[in-house]
A = this chain, B = another copy of it.
């Protein structure tokens, strides 16, 4: 049965190849350039092969989104670990905004383009949960209150990330705003 195993492995490799190619294409030319034909060209297979791996184009974008969320979750984790506990919130927030700025196409796939990825739901993929937990941990142990704080600060950060890209807030204003945000959430009355 090694033949079957090999085929399974090759299939998995190609699955990843598609995701990687889609991400690269999106980062190079934007998501509107990620079409079935261009993507098929890039992975050197015909279009129908894509549908052997994913239900449709949206599923491919969602797969990229989940992969990028995992990547971001890891960076949030590292940032939080590297900082003193008193600065955990700032570290995670900064890492979040940095990721959004450094990977615009990825961020778009994650949080602004239409997606079937579930948030705060039973089917929420593990990487998304991990990313969320980094925010919760920055506030302290997991409980309802800290989860709610995490959710709210995430929302604010998303707002900032969007404004930063579309409205081009000046750099220093951006920093002041982050300071204010952290002050509000850090000094949250119990």
Contacts and interface: CB of A to CB of B under 8 A. Distances in A.
B160 A148 contact: no
A189 to B, nearest CB: 6
A73 to B, nearest CB: 17
A93 to B, nearest CB: 12
Nearest to A119: B167
Contact of A151 (B112, B145, B159, B168): B159
B159 A176 contact: no
A177 interface: yes
B148 A176 contact: yes
A104 B97 CA distance: 27
In the complex, the count of this chain's copies comes to: 2
Interface stretch (A15-23, A84-92, A178-186): A178-186
Contacts of A152: 156, 159-160, 177, 180-181, 184
Contact of A168 (B121, B163, B169, B187): B121
A130 B94 CA distance: 30
Contacts of A180: 145, 148-149, 152
A43 interface: no
A149 B177 CA distance: 8
Interface string A94-120: 000000000000000000111000111
Interface string A128-151: 000000000000000001001101
A188 interface: yes
Contacts of A155: 155-160, 162-163
Contacts of A153: 156
